[in-house]
Every structure is written in C-alpha cells, then in structure tokens.
Amino acid sequence: MTAVDAVVRPQRSSRRRAGRIGIRDGRFALLYLSPALIVFGVFTIGPALFVLYISLFDWNLLNSSLSTFTGLHNYRALGSSADFWHSIVASVYFVGCVVAGSTVFGLGIALLLSSRGLVRRVVRLAVLTPYFTPLVATSIVWVWIFNPQYGLLDSLLRMLHLPMVGWLQSTTWAMPAVIFYTLWHDLGFTVIIFLAGLATVSTDLREAARVDGARYRHEIRDVVLPQLTQTIVFVIVITTIDSLQAFTQIYTMTQGGPLQATTTTGFLLYQESFVFFHTGFGAAIAVVLFAVIALFTLLQLRVSRSRSQ
Amino acid sequence: MTPFAQNHHNSREGTMHWHRRSSIVVGALLAAAACSYAAYGATASSRATINISFMEAMASGTQKPSLDLLTKRFEAQHPNIKVTLIAEPNYGVLQQKEQAAIAAGKPPTIGQAYENWAAGYADAKAIIPLTGYVNSKKMGVTTADRKQIWKGVWQDLFLPDGKIWMWPFNKSDYVMYYNADKLAKAGLQVPKTWVQFATVAKALTKSGNWAWSTDTGTLAAPADGTIVMLAMIHAFGGTWIANGKPTLNTPAAIKALGYLADLKKSGALQIGTNYPGETALGAGRSAFDLSTIAGYPYELAADGGKFSMKVAALPTGRNGEGNAMAGTNIVIFSKASNAERAAAWQYMKFLSEPRQTAYWAEATGYLPVTKTALPIMKRYIATHPYQQIAAHSLDVARGNPPYAWWTVAEGQLATALQAVLDNGGDPAHALAAAQAKAMAAAGG
C-alpha cells in the first residue's frame, strides 16, 4: 500500500459510507413523505393532469367512450370566443380594482391602526372581522343591501331624493358592487399583512427623520414605503392570485350577470363546464387560468425568497 | 356556433368514422332491442328480492315522509321488490350526483330528471326508452288510462326520436297569485287576459306600490321572469322550438318582450333577485306574483295572513293560455338488469296511478299527473281550489324542450330579458342576439 493509497482509501470508504447513509436517508424521507405525496398526487396532480387531457377532447361527461380527440381545437376556440375575451376584460377589471383597492386601502388603514390604543385595537378587530365571515352568508346579506326595492343603499338614495340604482341589475354598477363587497370582505387580510410589515420598519430611522424635521407624509413616503416594498409586492401578488380565483361572491350575488358583466374567467369556467357541460372547452379555460395563476405563484415564491434573504 | 357544436360539425373524419360504426351500432341496438322487449314480458314477480334504488330530490318539508310512505305501500304490495331512496338536497346536487354516478358506471336504477337532462342521458346511452314498458300488455298502461294523463304531461315524456323515455312524477306549472284585497279596494277585476293584466297592473302602480316583481335570472341560471316570458310566447301564438331548433325571436316573442318592457317602463314591473315576486307580494308592495303552484306554501308564509291571497290561472293571449311546466319525470338508467328495470317500471307506474298521485299532490302541493285523480281529491280541492286551477293548466303547459342545448337557449333568453328590462335594450335586437347564440349551441 502506497502512502497515497493509505490517504485515499479511507476517504473513498468514508465517502461511500456517507453515500450509503445519504441514499438510506433519502429512502426514509421518501417513505415518511409518501402518505402526503400519495394524497397530493391523487387529489391534486392527477386531476390537474386529467384536466389537461380532457382539454384536448370534445369530452362527453356522461360517457367518456363517446369523447372525440380534437387536439388543440378547444384552445383555438378559446382564442376566437367573444365570451372568453369578454371574461378576460371582466377579470382584468375585477382583479385590477380589487388589487389596487386592497393595497391602497389596506396600507392606509394599517398606517392609521399601527400605533397603540384601545380604540385602534377595536377598529382593527372590526376591520378584520369580515375576513372571517363565510363568503356565501355575507354575500347574501349584501344582495339584500343592494336590493333596489328594499335595500339599505337605495333607501339612503331615496332619502336624499336621488334616483334609485339597480346595483346588481345594472351592467354599469354590478361589477363595482361585487368589487366593493370583495374589498369589504378581504381588506382585513391585507391590513394584517401591512401591520406585520410596519412592525419591521426601523423606528430609529423614523425617529431620525422626525428629528430632522420631516413631515408625516415625507416620513411615510421616504422612510416607511421603501422599507415596505417587499410587503407591498407580496400583497399585490397574493391578492392577484386570490382575485383570479374569486367565484363564490360572483355566483351568489350576480350569477355572472347582468349581460355577463360580472362573468370573470373563473366564472366562465364554471358556466361552460358545469352549466352547459362543454367540458373540453371548460377544461381549456381551466388550463389557461392555471397557467396565469402559476405565473403569479412563481412570482410570489421569488418575492418570498428575496424577503427571507 | 359554440366550440362544442363545431367539434361535431367540422370533423369529417369523425363523420366517416361514425358511418363505419353506425352499422355495428345498429346491429347491436337491434339485438339489444330484442333482449329488452323480451324483458317487458318479464315481471318482477320472481321470489328473489329485487333491489332498486331511486335518486331523487324530494328531501324537504312533507316531500320526504310522503315519498317514504308511498314507497312502503308499494313494497307492501310487491314484497319481492325493495326500493332504496337516495335523497339529495336539491335539483342542482341531484343532477351532479346522477352525472357522477353515470360517469363512474354505477348509476342508481332510476332517477328524477328534467327533459333536457334526459336528452343528455339518452345521447350518452345512459338511460333506456320506456315505450316497450308503456305499451306492454302485461304491465303497461291502457289506452284509456293514457288518455287521462294531462295532455301537456303526456307530451313531456317523449324525446325527439318519438319514443317515451320518461315517466311523470312531480309536476307543477305557473299560476297567478294575487292580493284580492288590493284589487277589491281599487275596484279592479282579476285580469283574465294579458291585455287586462297590463291595464290592472298600471292602475295599481302608485304611491310607492307596483303590480309585479320578478327575477329574470341570468345566462347561467334563468329564473321565473324568463319562464313566464316562455309561457307568454305560447299565449301570443309563438313557439320555443321548431324542427328541432330554437325559435327565440318569433314575432310573438318580440311582442311578449315588448309587453314586459312597457310594464317595466310604466313602473308596474320591478326586477329583483332572490324571489322578489314573493317578497313584494307578501310585503303588500305589489299585487301579483307569477310563480309555480308548488310555491304556494312559501307565498302563503310570505303574506303572513295580512291579506287575502288568491290564485288564478295565467292570463291568456291570442292563442289562449300559455304555461310552462315545472317539476321532473323519472328515467330508468341503462345499467339496470332486466329484472331491476321491470321492478323499477312497476314502481314508477305505481307512483303515477290516481290514488298515489292524488295523495302525493295533497301532501306536497305538486299536481296530480292524471285527471282521474281529481275525483279522489274532491274534498281536498274544496278547501284548496287553486290545485284544480293549476291541474287544468297542465293540459296546455309545456315542459323544457327535450334537447341538451335547451339550457343554453333558455339562458340566452334570460340574457335578452336582462338586456331589455334592466338595461333598456331593444326587444327585437336582444332576441335576435339570443337566437343566434341559441342556434349556435343547437348546432345550427
């Protein structure tokens, strides 16, 4: 045995041993993870792949043997479908307003509530409460608030001698009404995120700015907001994903109407798949929606990673 | 044309493939038909117990105990047949469960189904035609008994191929609920025609009150307003379909929508959601609600005894009374064995017989499917005269056209109503747009 052998052999054997331990650990990890992987595979990955498969067929929901392979036909049909493009416009309207509203009002309310005090704690609780209420129940309550004959809003308009508005019946007002409800329900979540973000803002810097004579708005603009950038991006991404998936309030309040004014892409997916049973076409919508949401999820992951770094 | 329809029409290969397969299918169908007709002769009288299952949505109020009781009576008369009721909370869930069961290859023996559901099930070969059972000498329905079934109900049992695929069960139709005190106070008569209805409605529209509230529904979920419009189309001499295609923009339809637009413009008609007709009538703000007779208990609960609520038939038009049938039929799923099919047919027939359908009507508020039930219900009708009014309307009432695309067509009609009544659109233009989309869905 040479000197080199004497040095190298133990190194090789320890590497081999380490490799064996690594493989064994990997097997154990896989074993422990397998229940979760099986559940995830069967109930999430499997159905998702099946949706992709269905989207390539003129799918017969009741008798799959009568389904015919149509390749990318459903995707081409999506491209030429006026209803689909109308739903994209409605989605952009809904998502844009909800994201902008959640971010601006969420941040504003969080700034107002960030200092201590009993009243502010009570207000904080009040803002957060709607978020914990069931969407179906509260959206039905809002349907009655928006009712043109007996609703609270139109009663106020009548008291002020203003013309009545059919909030959920008008193509002009139905989407703003649904957006208003969504903001009312979801704002508490963004306020909490912003409050958490504000807790990490350096108080030394804020005090230094104040000592230097900065006004409140300058303190917010030049000291607080730059430190909140990642929180703001996080809120925008999360709210965008949530809004793209919004369904319950649209289903309960407007059923996508009037005249499809509130038919977002998510609602169109339901309508085509489960009302008209155009299953292949609906699956193609689901795949497109999935791709968009996956894009935002990746963005969110990157933001989360950069935050943790 | 929707992508769904295009798939069928653009695929030349698919058509050729279909022709090649059609001869095999025809042969197989002939063989199957021979076996099936042999089955009509077999009754479920063998000693072994035959288990059948019935997927239904009769789970609320008096419906469940009434169906339970009828089923027990049937089992007592047929000791070798055991019926398992699978109750679902509503029609939406029922449809999903039936579809899931069909897709999984494990449907129940029988199930409630609307006409357009049955059309889809038949296309997927998931149900069987009942013509053989109905015509069977041993276990069928006699010609005399057939003639006693309300005309509208009988017509509702067929699919476009001319075969009977459904058997009637829980039927209702539309009636006019009205506040009799309000009409008497204004010195107005109960309107019998749509012309009179408009006059009375406008006369009652003052001081924050109006005549009628309804919900048009949406593309995804048409509601009462759309169904009443369908009834008006028939009353005005129009059609819903012709030669297997939708006819949503006939002159009668344009006239009906124009009529509703005029009522809306005058303030006599208000549009809302969540059963606005019932709410407004109950609150004393309106004088009428046009809704199904099955909703009578809910109308009664809404008025709370504050006024005298009465019921009349829907107003008539140039073509007499038009009405829309609500409620479902029963279908037999094709996975059932011959013995199960025979047992199921006996159960379905039992439920439709005069004594049972009379009991069902008295207990639940649905209508008897045959005229011969009315004498049995004499005492009940004396205290519930509205049942007879609604039952007679079953002669003219029409069910959903039995085409799978009708869901889209009806939704498009709801969209036309929204365009005109909520957003001031032109009736002819709105109906033309609805017709174009409905035709596309129908593959035309």
A65 touches chain B (CB under 8 A): no
Lowest mean pLDDT among A143-152, A298-307, B35-44, B240-249: B35-44
Please report the pLDDT score of residue A23 as a whole number.
74
In this prediction, residue A10 carries a pLDDT of: 59
CATH superfamily for B42-171+326-398 is Periplasmic binding protein-like II (3.40.190.10)
Residue B406: closest CA among chain A residues belongs to which residue? A276
Instruction: Give the integer Cα–Cα distance in Å for B177 and A183.
Output: 40
pLDDT in tens, B71-85: 999 999 999 999 999
Nearest alpha carbon to residue B181 among B293, B305, B268, B278: B305
The sign of the dihedral angle between the CA atoms of B350, B354, B356, B357 is: positive
Greatest C-alpha distance within chain A: 105
| SS3 readout for chain B | CCHHHHHHHHCHHHHHHHHHHHHHHHHHHHHHHHHHHHHHHCCCCCCCCEEEEEEECCCCCCHHHHHHHHHHHHHHHCCCEEEEEEECCCHHHHHHHHHHHHHCCCCCCEEEECHHHHHHHHHCCCECCCHHHHHCCCCCCCHHHHHHECHHHHHCCECCCCCECCEEEEEEEEEEEEEHHHHHHCCCCCCCEHHHHHHHHHHCCCCCCCCEEECCECCCCECHHHHHHHHHHHHCCCCCEECCEECCCCHHHHHHHHHHHHHHHHCCEEECCCCHHHHHHHCCCCCEEEEEHHHHHHHHHHHCCCCCEEEEECCEECCEECEEEEEEEEEEECCCCHHHHHHHHHHHHHHHCHHHHHHHHHHHCCECCECCHHHHCHHHHHHCHHHHHHHHHCCCEECCCCCCCHHHHHHHHHHHHHHHHHCCCCHHHHHHHHHHHHHHHCCC
Nearest chain A residue to B209 by CA: give it.
Answer: A149
Closest CA–CA distance from residue B109 to any residue of chain A (Å): 16
Rounded Cα–Cα distance for residues A55 and A47 (Å):
12
CB atoms within 10 A of CB A289: 19
Residue numbers in A near B3 (CB within 8 A): 73-74, 77-78, 81, 278, 280-281
Determine contact, residues A73/A81, Cβ cutoff 8 Å.
no
Query: Where do you find CATH 3.40.190.10 in chain B?
Result: 42-171+326-398, 173-325+402-441
* Residue B441 · residue B4 · CB < 8 Å: yes
Q: Which residue bears the tokens 């978020």?
A: A131
A170 part of contact set with chain B, CB < 8 Å: yes
pLDDT score at B30: 38
Contact A73 B7 (CB under 8 A): yes
What's the mean pLDDT in A48-67? 92
Q: What CATH number was assigned to the domain covering residues B173-325+402-441?
A: 3.40.190.10
pLDDT at B303 over 80: yes
Rounded CA-CA distance B169/B172 in Å is: 10
| The pair of three-digit structure tokens given for residue B272, joined into one six-digit string | 């809302």
pLDDT computed for residue B47 by the predictor? 66
pLDDT in tens, B152-187: 999 999 999 999 999 999 999 999 999 999 999 999
Nearest to B120 among A81, A270, A277 (CB): A277
Peptide bond into A258 cis (omega under 30): yes
Residue A118 clears pLDDT 80, i.e. is over it: no
The reply to whether residue B418 touches residue A169, judged by beta carbons under 8 angstroms, is yes
Q: Where exactly are the structural domains of chain A?
A: 3-54, 81-308
pLDDT band at B370 (very low <50, low <70, confident <90, very high): very high
Please report the residues numbered 395 through 414 in chain B whose beta carbons come closer than 8 angstroms to any beta carbon of chain A: 404, 407-408, 411, 414
**Mean pLDDT of all residues in B269-287:** 92
Residue of B nearest to A74 (CA): B3
pLDDT at A306 over 60: yes
Q: Do A62 and B7 touch (CB under 8 A)?
A: no
In whole angstroms, how far apart are CA B367 and each of B46, B153, B326, B385, B390?
34, 11, 10, 12, 7
A300 and chain B in contact, CB less than 8 A = no
pLDDT band at B7 (very low <50, low <70, confident <90, very high): very low
Per the prediction, chain B carries an average pLDDT of 89
Lowest average pLDDT, out of A69-73, B20-24, B91-95, B378-382, goes to B20-24
For residue B277, name the pLDDT band (cuts at 50, 70, 90): very high
Q: What are phi and psi of B22, to 5 degrees?
A: -60, -35
Cβ–Cβ below 8 Å for B218 and A256: yes
- Whether the CB of B441 is below 8 Å from some CB of chain A: the reply is yes
What pLDDT score was predicted for residue B13? 34
Chains A, B: CB pairs < 8 Å: 124
Q: Between residues 200 and 239 of chain B, which touch chain A (CB distance below 8 Å)? A: 213, 217-221
Distance CA B374, CA B387 (A): 9
CA dist., res. B64 & res. B70, Å (int):
10
When CB atoms are compared, the residue of B124, B408, B418 closest to A257 is: B418
Select the residue of B124, B219, B441 nearest A66 (Cβ to Cβ). Answer: B124
Q: What is the reported pLDDT for A11? A: 62
User: What is the pLDDT, as a whole number, of residue A211?
Assistant: 86
pLDDT in tens, A18-47: 667 677 778 888 888 999 999 999 999 999
- Please give the span between the terminal C-alpha atoms of chain A, in angstroms, as a whole number: 49
pLDDT given at position B25 = 39
Task: Summarize pLDDT for B23-67 with one digit per residue, the tens.
Answer: 343 344 334 434 443 444 444 445 689 999 999 999 888 899 999
Reduced to 3 states, what is the DSSP secondary structure of residue A69?
strand
pLDDT mean over B107-130: 95
User: In angstroms, what CA-CA distances link A210 with A202, A222, A225?
Assistant: 13, 12, 15
Give residue B323's pLDDT band: very low, low, confident or very high (50, 70, 90).
very high
Is residue B22 pLDDT above 70, yes or no?
A: no
B418/A62 Cβ within 8 A: no
Residue B304 pLDDT > 60, yes or no? yes
More confident residue, A15 or B43: A15
Checking if the pLDDT of B8 tops 50, the result is: no
B286 phi and psi, to 5 degrees?
A: -120, 170
Q: Which residues of B touch A81 (CB under 8 A)?
A: 3
What is the distance in angstroms between the Cα of B221 and the nearest Cα belonging to chain A? 7
The alpha-carbon gap from A295 to the nearest alpha carbon of chain B, in Å, equals 27
Q: What is the pLDDT of residues B383-417, one digit of tens each?
A: 999 999 999 999 999 999 999 899 999 999 999 99
Range with the lowest mean pLDDT among A157-161, A184-188, B55-59, B212-216?
A157-161
Q: Which pLDDT score is estimated for A309?
A: 62
Chain B residues whose beta carbon lies within 8 Å of the beta carbon of residue A68:
7, 11, 14
Q: Does any CB of chain B come closer than 8 Å to the CB of residue A159?
A: no
Query: Which fold does the domain A81-308 belong to in CATH?
Result: MetI-like fold (1.10.3720)
Cβ atoms of B215 and B223 closer than 8 Å: yes
Q: What is the pLDDT of residue B80?
A: 95
Separation in Å, CA of A141 to nearest CA in chain B: 11
Tokens 């106020």 belong to which residue?
Answer: A156
Question: Which pLDDT band, with edges at 50, 70 and 90, does A308 fall under?
Answer: low
Instruction: Please determine, for residue B133, whether its predicted confidence score (pLDDT) is greater than 50.
Output: yes
The percent of residues in chain A predicted with pLDDT above 90, rounded, is 53
**N-terminal to C-terminal alpha carbon distance within chain B:** 7
Query: Using 50, 70 and 90 to split pLDDT, how confident is the model at B3?
Result: very low
Q: Which residue is closest to B270 within chain A, CA to CA?
A: A149
ipTM greater than 0.90: no
**Chain B residues within 8 A of A137 when measuring between CB atoms:** none
Q: Do B11 and A276 touch (CB under 8 A)?
A: no
In tens, the pLDDT along A190-244 reads: 999 999 999 888 888 888 888 888 888 888 888 888 888 889 988 998 999 999 9
Residues of B in contact with A69 (CB under 8 A): none
Taking only residues 192 to 251 of chain A, the set having a beta carbon closer than 8 angstroms to any beta carbon of chain B reads none
Residues of chain B numbered 7-36 and touching chain A (CB < 8 Å): 7-8, 11, 14
Give the pLDDT of residue A30. 86
Contact B124 A258 (CB under 8 A): no
Of A81, A168, A259, the CB nearest to B419: A259
Cβ contacts (< 8 Å) between B123 and chain A: which residues?
A: 60, 62, 66
